[in-house]
């Protein structure tokens, strides 16, 4: 067990770990931490380096990495990247976005949004964003001429910094919250009882008057699991997060530092009764900063949120709705085919077959997809690894009654030389008396090592590039003018989406948050005898065309201008004159 705040509510206590199909063949570093405990069973083989958060960076170091990236992208006289500050965290840390691609903000292009670092648990997500930026800048210069990238590498810098500095996973930002409603704030956080510098777990035999909930597994005494009452087991032990009952309320580690998990703070399926969801939707400056940035950039057609959620390997049932039968639990059913195609593209690009995930309620990805109408997906990619084949003579893991804990112990024993588990030691607790302190180390089950994170980033980056290629592209034909009689003419025009993505999702058409494509005949509306002087295209499928015809009164020899505007392309003007009569081929929207 790690941070009590991370374990509470619907937060998934086991996020991500390794690429099971790749882990055993990679030349990982054999570096270990000085305070790593000795091997519990077999020696590690192909050890993937020191446990997280060793090797990870945050705050000023992340800013320095972003600055170095911009300098590299803009070398040799190029102007390809810049940093913008979009928000400030509760502690005053800047939340920054990298703008990669066309730097003239007046020039409209389709754009993709990348977001990582939503918490201090999934530290690898920031590495995935930075790796994607580097690859796009280095290998996809042509793509960047027609596609703009917005990248937020560290959306929750306070949580990330605290997690790295304290060696304890942290899901929430720095808002002060009285979790246990006792009038004191953050007074009963987990504390290091045995002086090893880590927050693990405590167990003890439940004394009279206390309710036992767990048993020590008979096959492996390291495992403390819930008693199986349906099989007649009688619980004997209590299990706690390592800490003290500072406020004397009988609970341990129940009021930790921090307050709001950003991925519970967005509006779609906002979990209003979750203690880490915030007092109201988008109450946090970090969440509001991202929301305002998205609102102000209607050119965003797709988004990838890296973190603890996954909508690609474990594709969700898009037909599910809430009790009103109107609000999608994940994606709108009519957008199912598009998201299925993206999931297939992800698996083909990354070769990933398994991934952990978490409850999507209140998440950024659902808000992007269902409130903004953006084609948004969540990328995780980590799961419980397969322990490597045991060397000859090494002892196999003993079967027991908790397969999940046993699997993690096998990984610790045979991949990390036992370094993922702190052996139980007897300690004298100032309030509980004799307890045992130990368990899985912080981050062991929730975050890959930095070497594994770099491997994951290399695996997911090709998908980023392929998804960036999926964009709408608007082509407008020449305006054809056909004289009818007595100053009346007919004007014909075709608009085609020659791209590989609809101009917005079906959910975007419903919410109408993405501006439509607008056609406008320039002139006196009273001269338009048939057809509309202003036409709106709320959604145009990839490969689809719309035909428009107008009957217009014009003076002899006069021309008629038609403008086409949209959020992802510069204004297109077509002029219909008696002399043209569609002698020129249609042209694509300027890029």
Give the residue with greater pLDDT, 222 vs 402: 222
Domains 4-27+51-172+258-382+448-468 and 474-588 alike in fold: no
- Please state which of the four CATH numbers 3.40.720.10, 3.40.630.30, 3.30.300.30, 3.40.630.10 is assigned to the domain occupying 4-27+51-172+258-382+448-468: 3.40.630.10
Look at residue 95 in the predicted model and tell me its pLDDT: 97
Q: Specify the DSSP element, H or E, that contains 139.
A: helix 124-139
Mean pLDDT calculated for residue range 49-70: 92
Look at residue 564 in the predicted model and tell me its pLDDT: 98
Contacts of 49 (CB under 8 A, 6+ apart): 28, 29, 30, 31, 32, 55, 449, 450, 451, 452
Look at residue 591 in the predicted model and tell me its pLDDT: 45
In angstroms, rounded to a whole number, what is the distance separating the alpha carbons of residues 451 and 449? 5
**Sign of the torsion angle spanned by Cα atoms 449, 450, 455, 459:** positive
Give the residue with greater pLDDT, 405 vs 589: 405
Mean pLDDT calculated for residue range 206-229: 94
- Locate the domains of the chain by residue range: 4-27+51-172+258-382+448-468, 201-253+400-440, 474-588
* Beta carbons of 264 and 274 less than 8 angstroms apart: yes
Look at residue 552 in the predicted model and tell me its pLDDT: 95
pLDDT bin (cut points 50, 70, 90) of residue 15 is very low
Mean pLDDT calculated for residue range 167-185: 77
Among residues 588, 414, 575, the alpha carbon closest in space to that of 495 is found at 588
E strand intervals along 280-387: 300-306, 375-379
Look at residue 180 in the predicted model and tell me its pLDDT: 55
pLDDT tens for 238-267 read 999 999 876 666 677 665 677 899 999 999
pLDDT tens for 263-291 read 999 999 999 999 899 999 999 999 999 99
In angstroms, rounded to a whole number, what is the distance separating the alpha carbons of residues 479 and 490? 10
E strand intervals along 206-264: 214-216, 224-226, 237-241
In angstroms, rounded to a whole number, what is the distance separating the alpha carbons of residues 427 and 53? 26
Among residues 472, 469, 498, the alpha carbon closest in space to that of 586 is found at 498
Look at residue 259 in the predicted model and tell me its pLDDT: 87
pLDDT tens for 289-313 read 999 999 999 999 999 999 999 999 9
In angstroms, rounded to a whole number, what is the distance separating the alpha carbons of residues 289 and 304? 17
**67: phi then psi, degrees, rounded to nearest 5:** -65, -45
The pairing of beta strand 545-553 with beta strand 569-576? unpaired
- Please state which of the four CATH numbers 2.60.40.10, 3.40.50.150, 3.30.70.980, 3.30.300.130 is assigned to the domain occupying 474-588: 2.60.40.10
Burial class of residue 241 (count of CB atoms within 10 Å of its CB; 0-12, 13-18, 19+): buried
pLDDT tens for 107-120 read 999 999 999 999 99
pLDDT tens for 522-531 read 988 899 999 9
């Amino acid at each position: 067990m790690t941070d009590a705040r991370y374990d509470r509510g619907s937060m998934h206590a086991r996020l991500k770990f390794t690429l099971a199909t790749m882990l055993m063949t990679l030349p990982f570093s054999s570096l270990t931490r000085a305070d790593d405990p000795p091997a519990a069973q077999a020696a590690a083989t192909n050890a993937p380096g020191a446990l997280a958060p060793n090797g990870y960076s945050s705050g000023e170091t992340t800013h320095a990495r972003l600055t170095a990236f911009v300098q590299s992208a803009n070398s040799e006289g190029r102007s390809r990247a810049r940093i913008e500050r979009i928000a400030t965290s509760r502690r005053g840390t800047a939340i920054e976005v990298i703008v990669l691609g066309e730097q003239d903000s007046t020039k409209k292009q389709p754009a993709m949004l990348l977001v990582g670092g939503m918490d201090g648990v999934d530290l690898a997500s920031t590495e995935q964003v930075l790796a994607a930026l580097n690859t796009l800048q280095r290998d996809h210069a042509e793509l960047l001429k027609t596609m703009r990238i917005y990248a937020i590498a560290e959306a929750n810098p306070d949580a990330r910094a605290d997690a790295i500095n304290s060696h304890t996973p942290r899901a929430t930002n720095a808002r002060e919250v009285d979790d246990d409603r006792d009038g004191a704030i953050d007074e009963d956080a987990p504390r290091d009882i045995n002086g090893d510098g880590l927050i693990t777990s405590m167990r003890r035999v439940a004394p009279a008057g206390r309710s036992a909930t767990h048993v020590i597994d008979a096959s492996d005494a390291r495992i403390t699991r819930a008693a199986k009452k349906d099989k007649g087991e009688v619980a004997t032990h209590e299990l706690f997060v390592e800490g003290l009952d500072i406020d004397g309320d009988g609970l341990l580690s129940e009021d930790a530092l921090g307050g709001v998990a950003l991925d519970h703070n967005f509006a779609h399926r906002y979990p209003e009764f979750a203690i880490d969801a915030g007092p109201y939707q988008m109450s946090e400056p970090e969440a509001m900063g991202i929301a305002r940035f998205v609102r102000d950039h209607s050119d965003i057609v797709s988004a990838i949120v890296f973190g603890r959620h996954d909508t690609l390997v474990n594709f969700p049932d898009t037909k599910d709705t809430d009790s009103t039968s109107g609000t999608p639990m994940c994606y709108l059913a009519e957008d199912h085919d598009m998201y299925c195609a993206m999931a297939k593209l992800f698996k083909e690009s990354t070769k990933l077959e398994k991934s952990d995930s978490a409850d999507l309620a209140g998440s950024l990805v659902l808000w992007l997809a269902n409130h903004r109408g953006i084609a948004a997906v969540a990328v995780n990619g980590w799961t419980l690894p397969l322990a490597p084949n045991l060397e000859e003579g090494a002892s196999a893991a003993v079967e027991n009654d908790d397969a999940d804990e046993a699997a993690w112990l096998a990984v610790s024993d045979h991949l990390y030389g036992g370094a993922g588990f702190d052996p139980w030691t007897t300690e004298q607790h100032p309030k509980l008396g004799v307890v045992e302190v130990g368990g899985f180390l912080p981050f062991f089950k929730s975050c890959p090592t930095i070497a594994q994170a770099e491997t994951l980033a290399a695996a997911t980056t090709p998908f980023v590039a392929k998804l960036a290629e999926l964009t709408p592209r608007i082509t407008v034909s020449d305006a054809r003018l056909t004289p009818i009689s007595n100053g009346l003419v007919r004007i014909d025009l075709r608009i085609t989406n020659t791209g590989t993505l609809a101009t917005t999702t079906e959910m975007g058409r419903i919410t109408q948050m993405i501006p439509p494509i607008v056609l406008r005949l320039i002139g006196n509306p009273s001269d338009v005898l048939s057809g509309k002087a202003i036409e709106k295209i709320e959604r145009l499928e990839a490969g689809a065309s719309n035909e428009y015809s107008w009957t217009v009164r014009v003076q002899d020899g006069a021309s008629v201008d038609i403008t086409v505007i949209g959020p992802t392309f510069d204004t297109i003007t077509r002029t219909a004159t008696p002399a043209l009569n569609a002698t020129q081929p249609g042209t694509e929207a300027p890029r």
